[in-house]
């Protein structure tokens, strides 16, 4: 069965995210290694690294990913922003290497009005620049997006272009977000529509390159190009779309993490994970 989990807070210490995911019955985890809204966060302390690695030993085999800063835009034409973005991604690689976190999830960024082709070329160049100074034990996962504004990554062809044109394709995987692809126009709600979407994903990206999945329902309808996450089954995708996904043998044992709204008691994570488990055949 898939490894259901969630993005959890690291408040009070990075290692505490493991306790939080355990408390909701999760088997996979996504975190921020540092504040996602800061360009130059402090390096990890020896204590942080030790506490995280020690705690992680108790959760051997649990897939863990870090989500890179939302500030990063490797597709920008602005030289200062690009330089800061490359540096920020390189620092993320360093932190993940120190923490033995094998995946970094990143959005493809925005072309700023210069067009998809120009944006993709800049993204690949900036990404490869960061990968050159990165670590072989950390894979970059390009996340599918909803297609808002001038954002890249809403079409599977664009994700495929990134892998095909990088100097380091073996270090690049994919993170599929259900809300994002639905908002981008890829339907999941019926068996026929779901299979058409998966065939398109396989044709342009390759399902074997999908390493993480974000499970989010969508507040808005198919093709809206608006990124608004909703609890599982409460949005426009509905339970049937998630039933098809979690029972798809192509994604057996795949880490599937929630990015849905929640309070401090994490009750929503428990409810959503329980819903997902109930959908399994």
Residues acting as catalytic residues: 37, 67, 70, 107, 143, 177, 180, 214, 227, 229, 259
Distance, CA of 115 to CA of 202 (rounded, Å): 25
For the chain, list the strands marked E by DSSP: 3-7, 28-31, 64-67, 103-106, 139-143, 172-177, 210-215, 217-218, 229-230, 255-258
**64 and 97 in contact (C-beta within 8 Å)?**
no
Quick one: CA torsion of 38, 103, 44, 39, rounded to 10 degrees?
-20
Contact status, residue 66 vs residue 33, Cβ threshold 8 Å: yes
Q: Which two tokens stand for residue 67?
A: 């989500």
- What Å distances lie between residue 35 and 42, 102, 233, CA to CA? 10, 19, 30
Nearest alpha-carbon partner for 183 in 119, 230, 122, 117: 230
Contact 104, 66 (CB under 8 A): yes
Rounded Cα distance between 43 and 30, Å, is 19
Token pair for residue 266?
Answer: 């994490």
Tell me the H-state helices in 70-225.
79-99, 116-132, 156-165, 178-183, 191-204
């Amino acid at each position: 069965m898939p490894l259901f989990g969630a993005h959890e807070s690291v408040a009070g210490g990075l290692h505490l995210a493991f306790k939080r995911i355990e408390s909701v019955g999760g088997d996979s985890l996504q975190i921020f290694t540092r504040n996602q809204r800061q360009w130059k966060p402090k390096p990890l302390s020896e204590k942080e690294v030790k506490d995280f690695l020690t705690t992680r030993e108790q959760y051997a085999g649990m897939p863990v990913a870090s989500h890179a800063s939302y500030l990063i835009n490797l597709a920008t034409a602005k030289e200062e922003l690009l330089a800061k973005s490359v540096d920020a991604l390189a620092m993320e690689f360093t932190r993940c290497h120190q923490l033995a976190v094998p995946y970094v999830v990143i959005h493809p960024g925005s072309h700023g009005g210069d067009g998809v082709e120009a944006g993709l070329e800049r993204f690949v160049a900036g990404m490869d620049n960061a990968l050159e100074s990165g670590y072989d034990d950390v894979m970059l996962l390009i996340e599918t997006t909803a297609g808002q504004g001038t954002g890249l990554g809403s079409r599977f062809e664009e994700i495929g272009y990134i892998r095909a044109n990088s100097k380091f394709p073996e270090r690049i995987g994919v993170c599929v977000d259900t809300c994002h692809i639905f908002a981008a126009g890829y339907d999941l709600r019926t068996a026929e529509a779901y299979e058409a979407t998966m065939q398109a994903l396989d044709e342009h990206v390759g399902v074997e390159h999908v390493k993480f999945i974000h499970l989010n329902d969508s507040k808005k309808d198919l093709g809206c190009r608006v990124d608004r996450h909703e609890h599982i089954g409460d949005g426009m995708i509905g339970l049937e779309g998630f039933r098809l996904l979690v029972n798809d043998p192509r994604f057996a044992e795949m880490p599937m993490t929630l990015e849905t709204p929640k309070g401090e008691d994490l009750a929503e994570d428990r409810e959503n994970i329980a819903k997902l488990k109930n959908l399994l055949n």
